[in-house]
Amino acid sequence: MRATSCARPACPGRAVAWLTYDYGSRQVWLDDRPGPGGDHWGLCQAHAERLRVPKGWSEQDRRAGGADAGAAAGWDPPAALVS
C-alpha cells in the first residue's frame, strides 16, 4: 500500500488509520487499512486519536490495539456505505 497523506486540510501527516462511515446507520469505523467498499479517509495518528463523532453516532476503533480491536473479527461492512 502506498503512503497516503492525512485527509485533514493542511495536515502533512502520513495516514495511519482509515475512517469509514455510514450515514444510514450512524456509524463510524477506524481501521488499520481501507476496507473493500465505500469511501475511506486516511487520518494521521494525531487526528485518529482526536476523532469525535456526531451526537447520536457510534464509533468503533477496530485498529490493532484500538479500544474495540476485538470487534474486527468477522466484520462485514454495510452493503452501501455512504460518505
> Is 80 exceeded by the pLDDT of residue 78?
no
- Grouping H, G, I as helix, E, B as strand and the rest as coil, residue 60 is strand
Model pLDDT for residues 62-72, shown as the tens digit of each residue: 999 755 544 44
Q: Residue 24 domain-assigned? A: yes
Instruction: Note down the domain range covering 50.
Output: 17-72
Model pLDDT for residues 33-73, shown as the tens digit of each residue: 887 766 789 999 999 999 999 999 999 999 997 555 444 44
Mode of pairing for the β-strands spanning 58-61 and 27-31: parallel
Q: Residue 78 domain-assigned? A: no
Count of the separate structural domains present in the chain: 1
What percent of the chain lies above the pLDDT cut of 90? 58
Please give the Cα distance from 6 to 1 (Å, whole number): 15
